[in-house]
């Protein structure tokens, strides 16, 4: 049964969730399915049973997904070059209350942000998701001295480089958004997409199931049905949003870098669609397990930097920060041409 479920998970990236959303849920469970198959491969292997071959075969069949979950690229020194630049993507959710809360909370949030910003070098391009309010934008601008800012709903592009053009990929009936900007750099113009796809918004209900759920009670099953229904709606909306972004990127006259919170793991239709003809900075230069979500669900990577072939990935870092339920992802790139 485990092998069958794992094989179905492998099919998730190839099936539009509008037609069969259940496979997306299995793709989300890929890390746990992988560990399960590893366990049984070792378990049956120690007993010299032929069943170990089935588990090993299942793992090999999905070997292409392993690198998107676990990577072993050793960090090396980066030669200085005028073609190098850094980008950082960060879903700043917990700081979105800055400027809307009481003075004491504002003071605390600002202090935490300044501590974080003081621990990193100023990125050339900062893409923020769930950044709300003029005071928040001013805080970031003043902290890093950005001159160029483009905002679309809750996605904001901060840049050292001037804008040649800018706009948004429209998402209907949602607070989620995708801002894009053409940035004029010393080595050419590049287009950056700052994406925040539809959130699952499972929140307190999912936490209640995880901490207090009792399958013998009707209330737990009611919560489970609610969570699955909301998740189904979210993955279907994300598929439509991803299609809109992919169509827009295909028409870009400039080299493209997509950054942001896709709210889907690598074993998903959305990731496969948006990473087509692009590099994944984690797969290229990441190390260890690439988790970017700091919430209750472990091993979840939903924040990405996806440059096209016009760029070379030099470094990928997931930074420690307590400002949000996401970790910031900072990537050093170089113009390849």
Q: What is the 3-state secondary structure (H, E, C) of 10-50?
A: HCHHHCCCCCCCHHHHHHHCHHHHHHHHHHHHHHHHHCCCC
3-state class (DSSP) for residue 251? coil
> What's the pLDDT at 317?
93
73 compared with 269, residue with greater pLDDT: 269
**Residues 195-210: tens digit of each pLDDT:** 999 987 655 545 544 5
Read off the pLDDT of each residue in 140-162 and give the average, rounded to a whole number: 91
DSSP, res 173: S
> What's the pLDDT at 142?
83
> What's the pLDDT at 275?
96
Q: Are 200 and 231 in contact (CB under 8 A)?
A: yes
* C-alpha span between 298 and 290 (Å, rounded): 11
Q: pLDDT band at residue 246, thresholds of 50, 70 and 90?
A: very high
Mean pLDDT of the chain: 87
Res 212 pLDDT > 60: no
Res 128 pLDDT > 90: yes
* C-alpha span between 39 and 33 (Å, rounded): 10
216 compared with 33, residue with greater pLDDT: 33
111 compared with 248, residue with greater pLDDT: 248
Read off the pLDDT of each residue in 253-270 and give the average, rounded to a whole number: 96
Read off the pLDDT of each residue in 85-96 and give the average, rounded to a whole number: 87
Res 89 pLDDT > 90: yes
> What's the pLDDT at 313?
96
Res 107 pLDDT > 70: yes
> What's the pLDDT at 225?
66
Q: pLDDT band at residue 163, thresholds of 50, 70 and 90?
A: very high
> What's the pLDDT at 233?
86
For 118, list phi and psi in degrees, rounded to 5: -70, -15
224 compared with 8, residue with greater pLDDT: 8
Res 15 pLDDT > 90: yes
Q: pLDDT band at residue 94, thresholds of 50, 70 and 90?
A: low
Question: What pTM value is reported for the model?
Answer: 0.90
Res 273 pLDDT > 90: yes
> What's the pLDDT at 302?
95
Res 211 pLDDT > 70: no
Tell me how many degrees the CA angle 83-87-92 measures, rounded to the nearest 5.
Answer: 170
In order of 45, 158, 253, the CA distances from 183 in angstroms are: 54, 11, 12
205 compared with 101, residue with greater pLDDT: 101
> What's the pLDDT at 200?
78
Res 253 pLDDT > 90: yes
Res 282 pLDDT > 60: yes
> What's the pLDDT at 167?
96
57 compared with 320, residue with greater pLDDT: 57
> What's the pLDDT at 77?
78
Read off the pLDDT of each residue in 39-52 and give the average, rounded to a whole number: 90
Res 222 pLDDT > 80: no
Q: 155-159 and 303-307 as β-strands: parallel, antiparallel, unpaired?
A: unpaired
> What's the pLDDT at 217?
56
> What's the pLDDT at 131?
83
In order of 17, 84, 278, 322, the CA distances from 305 in angstroms are: 23, 15, 10, 21
């Amino acid at each position: 049964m485990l092998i069958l479920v794992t094989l179905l998970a492998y099919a998730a990236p190839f099936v539009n969730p509008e037609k069969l959303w259940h496979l997306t849920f299995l793709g989300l469970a890929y890390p746990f399915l992988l560990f399960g198959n590893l366990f049984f491969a070792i378990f049956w292997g120690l007993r010299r049973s032929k069943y170990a071959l089935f588990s090993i075969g299942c793992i090999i069949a999905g070997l292409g997904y392993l690198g998107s979950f676990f990577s072993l690229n050793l960090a090396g020194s980066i030669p200085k070059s005028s073609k190098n630049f850094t980008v950082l993507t960060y879903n700043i959710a917990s700081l979105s209350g800055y400027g809307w809360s009481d003075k004491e909370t504002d003071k605390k949030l600002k202090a935490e942000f300044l501590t974080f910003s003081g621990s990193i070098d100023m990125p050339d391009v900062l893409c923020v998701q769930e950044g709300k309010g003029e005071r928040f934008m001013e805080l970031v601008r003043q902290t890093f001295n950005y001159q160029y800012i483009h905002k679309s709903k809750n996605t904001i592009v901060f840049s050292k480089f001037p804008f040649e053009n800018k706009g948004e990929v429209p998402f209907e009936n949602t607070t989620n958004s995708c801002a894009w900007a053409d940035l004029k750099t010393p080595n050419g113009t590049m287009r950056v997409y700052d994406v925040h796809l539809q959130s699952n918004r499972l929140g307190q209900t999912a936490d209640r199931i995880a901490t207090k759920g009792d399958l013998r009670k009707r209330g737990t099953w009611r919560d489970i049905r609610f969570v699955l229904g909301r998740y189904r709606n979210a993955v279907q909306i994300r598929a439509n949003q991803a299609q809109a972004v992919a169509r827009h990127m295909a028409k870009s006259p400039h080299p493209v870098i997509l950054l942001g919170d896709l709210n889907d793991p690598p074993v998903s239709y959305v990731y496969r669609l948006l990473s087509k003809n692009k590099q994944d900075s984690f797969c290229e230069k990441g190390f260890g397990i690439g988790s970017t979500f700091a919430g209750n669900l472990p091993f979840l990577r939903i924040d990405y930097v996806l440059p096209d072939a016009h760029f070379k990935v030099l470094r990928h870092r997931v930074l420690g920060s307590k400002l949000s339920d996401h970790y910031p992802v900072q990537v050093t790139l170089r113009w390849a041409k």
